[in-house]
Chains A and B, each alone.
Chain A
Amino acid sequence: MKTKPRPIHLDLRRIRMPINAITSIAHRISGVLIFLLMPAGIFLLDLSLMSPEGFATAVGVFNSFCGKAVLLLLLWAFVHHLLAGLRCISIDVDLGVDKPVFLKTARIVLLAAFPIALLIWVAL
Chain B
Amino acid sequence: MSSRRVSGMQAWALQRITALYLALYISYMIGLFIFAPPASYDAWRLWVAQPHVSMAMLLFFGSLLFHAWVGIRNILIDYIKPFALRLTLLVLTGLGLLACGAWSLEVVISARIV
Task: Identify the A interface with B (CB < 8 A).
Answer: 8-10, 12, 28, 31-32, 34-35, 38-39, 42, 45-46, 48-49, 51-52, 54-56, 78, 82, 85-86, 89, 92, 120, 123-124
A84 → B minimal CB distance (Å): 11
Task: Identify the B interface with A (CB < 8 A).
Answer: 16, 19, 23, 26, 30, 33-34, 40-42, 44-45, 48, 61, 64, 68, 71-72, 75, 78-79, 81, 96, 100, 103-104, 107, 110-111
Known: A8-B81, A32-B75, A49-B107. 20 other contacts (CB 8 A): A28-B71, A31-B75, A32-B72, A35-B72, A38-B68, A39-B96, A45-B104, A49-B45, A49-B110, A55-B44, A55-B45, A56-B41, A82-B23, A85-B19, A85-B23, A89-B19, A120-B30, A123-B34, A124-B30, A124-B33
A31, A38, A51, A54: the one within 8 Å of B100 (CB): A38
- B81 contacts A9, C-beta separation under 8 Å: yes
Interface of B: prevailing SS: helix
B16, B45, B75: the one within 8 Å of A28 (CB): B75
Interface of A: prevailing SS: helix
User: Could you tell me the distance between the alpha carbons of A82 and B64 in the complex, rounded to whole angstroms?
Assistant: 13
